[in-house]
Structure 1
Amino acid sequence: MDPKRELSSIDLGALVTELNRYEGAKVDKAYRYDEDLIRLKLRDFDRGRVELMIEVGDVKRAHVADAEHVADAPGRPPNFAKMLRNRLSGADFVGVEQYEFDRILTFEFARDDENTTLVAELFGQGNVAALDETGAVVGALETVRLKSRTVAPGTQYEYPASRLNPLDVSFGGFERHMRESDSDVVRTLATQLNLGGLYAEEVCTRASVEKETAIAEVTDDQLRALHDALADIADRLRSGDVDPRVYEEVLDGDGGDAAEADSEADDPETRVVDVTPFPLAEHEGLPSVGFDSFNAAVDEYFYRLNRQDETGDDAAPADASASRPDFEEQIAKQERIIEQQTGAIEGFEAQAERERERAELLYANYDLVDEVLSTVQEARANDVPWDEIADTLAAGAERGISAAEAVVDVDGGEGTVTIALDDEDGNATEIELDADAGVEVNADRLYREAKRVEGKKEGAMEAIESTREELEAVKRRKAEWEANEAEDDESASDDENEDEEYETDWLSRSSIPIRSPDDWYERFRWFHTSTGYLVIGGRNADQNEELVKKYMGNHDRFFHTQAHGGPVTLLKAAGPSESADPVDFSEQTLREAAQFAVSHSSDWKDGRGAGDAYMVDPDQVSKTPESGEYIEKGSFVIRGDRTYFEDVPCRVAVGVQCEPVTRAIGGPPSAITDRAAAQVTLEPGMYAQNDAAMMVYRRLKERFADQSFVRKVASADQLQEFLPPGGSDIVD
């Protein structure tokens, strides 16, 4: 059986539904490989990196590809790729449609200055054309000049002549088309009804109609059964009820088709032959692999098909040539993507901050806001029309009544009143209020909106994780290549940016670019030691349990305090998905981890200036108590010898990091000094945690010329995350 090399109309119908889930993704760059493969690199703030592949040569396909299935970018872009970059870079993906029942997909992209339609013709010779807002062709892979249609720059794009859509045809129309044929059932379905050979046979099988039956001999009941089978396929496509399959074929020892699979074979060799959005009765005898989405199945199928074409089988292709890859360009590309993705996160942060500030303004002007709302509510209780309420407030404003002067708009249809309040800088901020609710309810609504937006930010941060992982993978490949190339080039280190001293005078800069991090450990207590190792601690019993069960590696170190009520603290030898070798941690690294454990324990909360901590290996930590004993949630049994750290000072430093990322950081002072552009050191004292955080925020803010930067990356709320429970005093 020859492998399928082109997607069918039914395949495209199933793909369109899934591709439209990427609506809103932004185009980063366009590439052209060889003569007939187009790659659009997009970023989706929910899913991260998106690779849209359109191929119109011997293989005809259009789908989103896994990043690992995408070849490195080609060299200098040809003119078509340059044109796509000029028109699509920064554009939003609006959606994709299948043109009638043809093998044509139209991708729509919108940008403030211009919109672009990309038409992918996945039939015949294949073509991709870019159209402007008027439908005129801006550029195309191939110029087409036929009697029936023209596709050329400067002309209006012309679709091929319409074809009957078998999935939409009524039974009457279906019966008429079938009866007009002088061929057999399967050929009529394949050509006159445009189903193609495979799905024409599938419909016959599902309808239990012999495919070679002459149309003249087909009964009305058989026609009805054929139409019902078509309708069932149509319903599955419209509802998205897919059960994708990649079908394989078992090969014999010579690479040919095997008549029978050897039941004794442990691992028979296979090749892919088809991909379908749901199981086909026509392929019942073939082994298949299921997928969660049809797009994923299509991607896997064509990836394996390409490997088969390159190697003659489904084995992995040979290693790339020994020429040095352009690691710098790959790194720069990933960094640009991350910078663009973080722009969206900054937008969410700014929006959440605005909502919180608006809520705080309501409380700061409580009496005035309450007077406005009470006035409106009293009037409505007396059935005063909204127009009269608005007129009364306007008249009050003219007389200089403060509450009335604050009212900007009254919307009776929505039941809202919009007021303007001055912030601490004297700028007027408009706030829309629910006229039926009180000040507290309206403020709570704004706080909840801030939390909702922050939830979107968290989703966006998770979405760029794959891009960051790819960046780190490129950096590792670069380091490995250089290490093998020459011993003296091993200076390229993953910790280079981490240990870099601050040479830029960040405090005096009028504007500091924000580069938000997205690290898996940020929901825990955390810091990086002065030697670059990660230390994480639990914030509660649930996180203590999670750290030990999920994140404690064989070569990590477990820290806890002698005092009751301390967090589980782990000194990590490697990341959660990385393999680690035994590490000989320095004494300074160990003492910093111990100080972190002590500072976040009850030693600080009780006002003690120092405390004791101990360290054990992971295999000494157990959740199994002695017979007859009980262990509370978040607690553990420690067996064996312990290494003690005595009289460890209770001190933390909290500061602002400006490179390589921008964020609030906190931890032992010795670990924070070289990473923070500005920092404040604290010890146990009299100020409550939130008050201490505000004091630190004000001190840090006044040190920077760009005070808005501090507000965005190190607000009092963010700084409070790094402060121990209990009272604190500022040391310096």
Structure 2
Amino acid sequence: MKKALSSIDINVLIESWQFLCDSKLEQISRHSKQEVILKIRSKEHGTHRLLINLDGWIYLTNSKGFQSKSGNFIDILKKTIKGGRVNSISQINCDRLISIIISNNNQEFNLIIELFRKGNLILCKDKEIISILRKEKLNDRLLDKGAIYTYPQHPFNFLDSDTASSTEKLKSSHRKLISALVTDCNLGPDIAEYISSSYNPNIAISDLSDEDISSIISHAKSILSNPSKARIYSNNKYTFFATPFELKDLEVNSEFSNYNEAIEHLLSLKKEVKTEEPREDGRIFTQKKYLKKFLKQSKEMRKIAKSISDNVLFIQNLIDDFNNEKENKEILDYNNTRSEFRTSIDDLSFKIIPTKSPEANASLYFKNAKSLEAKAAKAEKLILTQSKTKKKISKVKSSISKNQEWFEKFRWFITSEGEIAVAGKDARSNDLIVKKYLKKNDYFSHADIHGAPSVVVKHITSEMSEKSLEECGSFSLSFSKAWASKVSGGHAYSVIADKVSKTPNTGEFLARGSFALRGRRKWFKNLPVLLAIGKISYLDSEKIMIGPVSSLATHSKNYSVIRPGFGSSAAFSQLLSKHLNCTQEEIQSLLPFGTLDVVESVGFSIDNSLLNSDE
């Protein structure tokens, strides 16, 4: 999965944002620790939101309802540049560095966005830093209030360099091919990986012929000279990256009208398909860090001790000269009390205590090495003990929840057309699925009954089918109060994502889990209160799914159809678990609240008369 935007990506984005110049900076908000949103309004082009994610992303978004967090830096930005005019947006030195010039109250300010390292936002006036998100002291520059902002050393500008300069840059690299294209030529990892795949990506540049190098540069120039439709490419089910350039022979996952939309969609995919890796325990991580540190220091101590032992006469002469206050250029420095001095042998610098013999000094270093090795052994023992404990805990957890997907935290099903539909279990999760997972081109469905769950259906296929929307409406209805009330049918509706808002109409109040819907709704009348539950295969993993009958009929060979009735859900869960080879709890946790009857079963048989209700 693409980790961040490259300087090439940013160059394409900056060109597409030039229509924002001469627009008003209407609002500034901080969505999270790493995200800042600039709301920019243009008379000709309307309102746009520039989302700055300091993990390495920046793009225009149409999403609304971002939660604003206050802070000293944001407050200063609001006082200084809010309401100002955007004069220019530019990329600095073909780097992951963006400059937005804003004029306000007859003064001109420079908002600088750094999208490398941890990311940073700096507000300058006449090159002086007047506010900064993160103070940093680096080797070549100081980033702090009152300091003069200096740009970092700029990388190679492949876009503006001619073929000869680019060829010479690659030829002079001492790296492997893919590293040279990323680091020396500044192409970004996606383009570099694509170009180097025709060769051995790990071949040294020195092993390539002049013809090969010329061919590589020509290939890169031809790709970058012709930005095309923004696309998301996929190498496999979980590897996606977005680029505004055409990369032939790669599978196109989806196409977009502009690169901003592609980036936003990529980030939503990143959240959804990301398989969570077990997080390393903090104690184990700390002990591993100390283990590495102790072993490194111990090795150094032994090296110094050996060096002193091998050069006893040299060290003794230094001690004698130091004690007699004779000048010796091999004595590099000493402390104020003259209790120790520093010297070096073969680029190895170390301290000597002049009141002790060379042998005694060597012995001290050997002793320190042994002490560090004992600490390392203790740290290693703690790591082993904690790892064994964690494995036992993880085994217990894995028997409860195995290969869980992101959507299994909610009510969910796969529509007969293949879309993922998720629904809230309560007001809090209704809020969450809409705020976090309802994206552009997705749909929102809801039954026309108070207390029904909100359903978000993810837009995956080329067109959202009416069948999928009808299934989502039926799903919302079946998990509403209609089930417990033994209602046989009802109505539901769907709207596209941009018609859903958490902002109430004037004079109204929206409770938690509620939303304001604006625009025309697509209604589905007289939907049945009916569900099916069975076993499906999803991404080579078997799962128990409950959903509309048509959905189970498409994805499962073994399922039961149920409706509101008078049978015990506990008895049904016990019987069904034997046919689906799962636990009774897994079935029970998926069922709607209330009693039920079995309409039919496919692939096995369940006698409805066995469901004598005691609920």
**Which range, TM-score by smaller chain?**
0.3 to 0.5
Q: TM-score, normalised by structure 2?
A: 0.46
* Greater RCO, 1 or 2 (C-alpha within 8 Å, sep 6+): 1
Q: TM-score, normalised by structure 1?
A: 0.39
